[in-house]
Chain A
């Protein structure tokens, strides 16, 4: 991946159960210091996604590494950045408290 150039990556998720699952995912970037240079244009994360029983779907991430990464002396030895996602099941009935919501 070239800093500044947009890139596409794919993950796959499968629901191996016989019930639909609604989940939400969050991500992590290693090394930690590279995270500030990692820019997601669009991905499958942060919003609830529903997977039907036995369903397997592609989960794309469209991103770019900030070109300033190449200027940062602290990043000089970094030639591998790992992006990982964790999918959490969204719990039924768990709602964010909204102001004024009865």
Chain B
């Protein structure tokens, strides 16, 4: 039960997500991308940083199939990966 130590403790206030909810992928259209991402996580010992390329690919899959609002990937924290991509393909 509460003790004097709880004085001033705030209750946890859930906050809604910045960009709203993901629609459910009822047909598993992006399951393959999720699988590739999870494979990377397992192989890297669950290092999120090592698998950002595949995380980006998953989100791109969603955007391509109307399962996520289109948003420039640079704004989703993938700017460095995009810059790398364009450096690797100077002709494009």
Chain A residues packing against B (C-beta within 8 Å) = 1-2, 5-8, 10, 26-29, 32, 35, 39-47, 49-52, 55, 57-60, 62, 64
Contacts and interface: CB of A to CB of B under 8 A. Distances in A.
B48 A44 contact: no
B16 interface: yes
B55 A42 contact: no
Chain A CB within 10 A, most for which of B21, B31, B55, B78: B21
Interface residues of B, number: 29
B17 A29 contact: no
A42 B18 contact: yes
Chain B CB within 10 A, most for which of A27, A42, A51, A59: A42
B49 to A, nearest CB: 5
Nearest to A49: B24
- Chain A interface helix/strand/loop/mixed: strand
A40 B77 CA distance: 13
13 contacts: A1-B48, A1-B49, A6-B55, A8-B58, A10-B34, A39-B18, A41-B76, A43-B22, A51-B24, A58-B34, A60-B58, A62-B22, A62-B59
Given A5-B48, A6-B52, A6-B77, 11 more contacts: A5-B77, A8-B37, A8-B58, A32-B12, A40-B17, A41-B17, A42-B19, A42-B22, A46-B17, A57-B26, A59-B22
A40 B48 contact: no
